[in-house]
Amino acid sequence: MEDLNHLWRNENGPQTSDLAHRYGVCVGAFNSPNISVVDIKNRSIEDDSEDFPGSFEAELAYMDQLEAESNNTDSQGLLGEGPESQETSVKWSRPTPPPLDPQRDPITFQQIDMDHYTGRARQGMPGAQLGPVPVIRMYGVTMEGNSVCCHIHGFSPYFFVLAPDTFINQHCKPFKDSLNRAVLNDMRFMVDTGVVGCSWVELPAGKYQLREKSKKVSRCQLEADISWEEFVSHAPEGEWSKVAPFRILSFDIECAGRKGIFPEPDHDPVIQIANMVVRQGDHEPFIRNVFTLDTCAPIVGSQVLSYTVEREMLEKWAEFVRELDPDILTGYNINNFDFPYLINRAKHLKVKNFTYLGRIKDIQSVIKEQMFQSKQMGRRENKSVNFEGRVPFDLFLVLVRDYKLRSYTLNSVSYHFLQEQKEDVHHNIITDLQNGNPQTRRRLAVYCLKDAYLPLRLLDKLMCIINYMEMARVTGVSLSSLLTRGQQIKVVSQLLRK
């Protein structure tokens, strides 16, 4: 959800005939063949007559038709109409990983994120065996779509410094305290082992230990331990330049604000959360759903999950994220609005376990104020939220960084690059639509789904994910560093590799 004060609609957007030509369908063929898109725009929000489809609804129906044909199943069986239909969530899970014999089968995955922690020494691994030891943690996805968490042992962070003749051991502690505040996010490890951002990593057979389910600390399907000298990082060339089927979750929230007041999480409820999920390399999302507060009429091509209590809706959405296990979280202005609003609202309602959204089971996602400064973008204040193992890819921040545009609202950006527009719902009537009936809430849900879909269309059109992955490979820094750091870290990374 972007700033509600900047929503607008350009009437010169794509026409129904253009969309029908693009998808090979007749928009008027769904539910009511005698109704045009113009009729829909003129409907009153209190109108509870037959549901009239718009052009975006035709797209949803077409996606559903394609999915039904590819799966050779009845598409209606995938549509939910409320909590009683939530057994369809089996579709959310990743494919089951094949049985692995660590002595015979290697594990190969494309790493997308990396962090480090101080933990206990593990038997059979190099390095100190007493006391806390440094461990590098890699997250990634196999070509089969299985998520991986790899703990890399034995690497001790270090640096070189010219010490004066008067330097003694007592000087080490303040020296360490000062330098530990400016750690370069595992860059030394990446340089020494030849790892670049988004590279393919192989755990050779007989060299790694596969963790049992009871000993896993992550939500990844495969979790392993290996020595830093045993794993193989493949240079991104030839067959290793491919991209794994990363799961990309785009979402948008709607809030029932008060008249003339921007929504505040301590007062205004979250009334809808729309989600679109696509695999990297595909053009259309394979999961399309919307979580709604109160009843909502069915939407062709989307799963509608309705709840009577906001706390339960937020709990179920957090469970959805954990079960889906996305690699990349995207949307429009999600870093500064959607994520902080959801976390603060869940805190206000005391929603159980909501903030455990990352891949490490015992680490909560928290909001931090972040100051970003570079010569290219100047000084900017942003919020950041940690999702260990997942990469927040806020499209709004990416476009501000990479493109010079007159306006950065989702509506104007979509029209500039896609010649498409948001659904025709003004922010002033969102609360009225919510307080109406199932049909008015359906209209709001379609609007919310479109706001979750447009970022995916923009990512695909502008090839943002691919471009950033290739930049990470060339410069040697992680994908998250490209999104949160300036230009200097790219230069330092390449200098260290010379």
Contacts of residue 423, Cβ cutoff 8 Å, sequence gap at least 6 = 54, 56, 446, 447, 450, 451
Residue (of 478, 314, 319, 323) closest to 393 by Cα position: 478
Q: Choose among 226, 241, 195, 252: nearest CA to 479.
A: 195
Token pair for 126: 């190099």
Residue 422, phi-psi category: left (phi > 0), alpha (psi -120 to 50), beta (remainder): beta
Annotated domain spans of the chain:
4-78+246-462, 107-244
CA proximity to 334, closest of 248, 250, 418, 449 = 250
Q: Please name which of 4, 48, 10, 56 lies closest in space to residue 30, comparing C-alpha atoms.
A: 56
Could you say which of 3.40.50.1100, 2.40.50.730, 3.30.230.10, 2.60.40.650 is the CATH number of the domain covering 107-244? 2.40.50.730
pLDDT of 128 = 66
Say how far apart CA 455 and CA 278 lie, in whole Å.
Answer: 11
> Tokens 């750690």 belong to which residue?
183
Q: Which string of b and e fits 133-161 if b means at least 16 CB within 10 Å?
A: bbbbbbbbbbeeebbbbbbbbbbeeeeee
Single-letter amino acid code for the residue at 98 = P
Strands 303-307 and 287-293, bridge-based pairing: parallel
Question: Are 172 and 159 within 8 A, CB to CB?
Answer: no
* pLDDT reported for residue 36: 34
Ordered DSSP codes for 195-241: --TT-EEEE-TTTEEEPPGGG--BS-SEEEEEETTT-EEE-SSGGGG
DSSP state of 95: P
Among candidates 145, 79, 149, which has minimal Cα distance to 113?
149
Q: One digit per residue, pLDDT tens: the chain, 498 residues?
A: 554 433 333 333 433 334 443 333 333 333 333 333 333 333 343 444 344 446 888 888 888 888 777 766 443 333 333 333 344 444 789 999 999 999 999 999 999 999 998 888 777 777 667 778 889 999 999 999 999 999 999 887 766 677 787 878 777 777 676 665 444 557 888 888 889 999 999 999 999 999 999 999 999 999 999 999 999 999 999 999 999 999 999 999 999 988 888 999 999 999 999 999 999 999 899 999 999 999 999 999 999 999 999 999 999 999 999 999 999 999 999 999 999 999 999 999 999 999 999 999 999 999 998 776 655 566 678 899 999 999 999 999 999 999 999 999 999 999 999 999 999 888 889 999 999 999 999 999 999 999 999 999 999 999 999 999 999 999 988 899 888 877 777 777 777 777
Cβ contact 53:36 at 8 Å? no
With beta carbons less than 8 A apart as the criterion, state whether 40 and 51 touch: no
Residue 386's pLDDT is 94
Cα 307 from Cα 473, distance rounded (Å): 44
Q: How many helices (H) and strands (E) does the chain have?
A: 14, 15
DSSP-derived secondary structure for 214-225: GG--BS-SEEEE
Of 23, 58, 91, give the one whose Cα is nearest residue 286.
Answer: 91
List CB contacts of 225: < 8 A, sequence separation 6 or more: 122, 125, 150, 151, 152, 153, 208, 209, 211
Closest CA to 410 of 469, 465, 457: 457
d(CA 85, CA 92): 14
| Angstrom distance (rounded) from CA 167 to CA 428 | 67
Range 161-165 contact pairs with CB under 8 angstroms and sequence separation of 24 or more: none
Superfamily of domain 4-78+246-462: Ribonuclease H-like superfamily/Ribonuclease H (3.30.420.10)
Is the dihedral angle over the CA atoms 74, 78, 80, 86 positive or is it negative?
positive
φ, ψ dihedrals at 277, nearest 5°: -125, 130
Asked if 325 contacts 472 with a C-beta cutoff of 8 angstroms, the reply is no
> In this structure, what token pair is assigned to residue 180?
């530990």
Torsion sign, CA atoms 211, 217, 223, 228:
negative
The pLDDT assigned to 104 comes to: 96
- Provide the sign of the torsion angle of the four alpha carbons 385, 377, 236, 494, taken in this order: negative
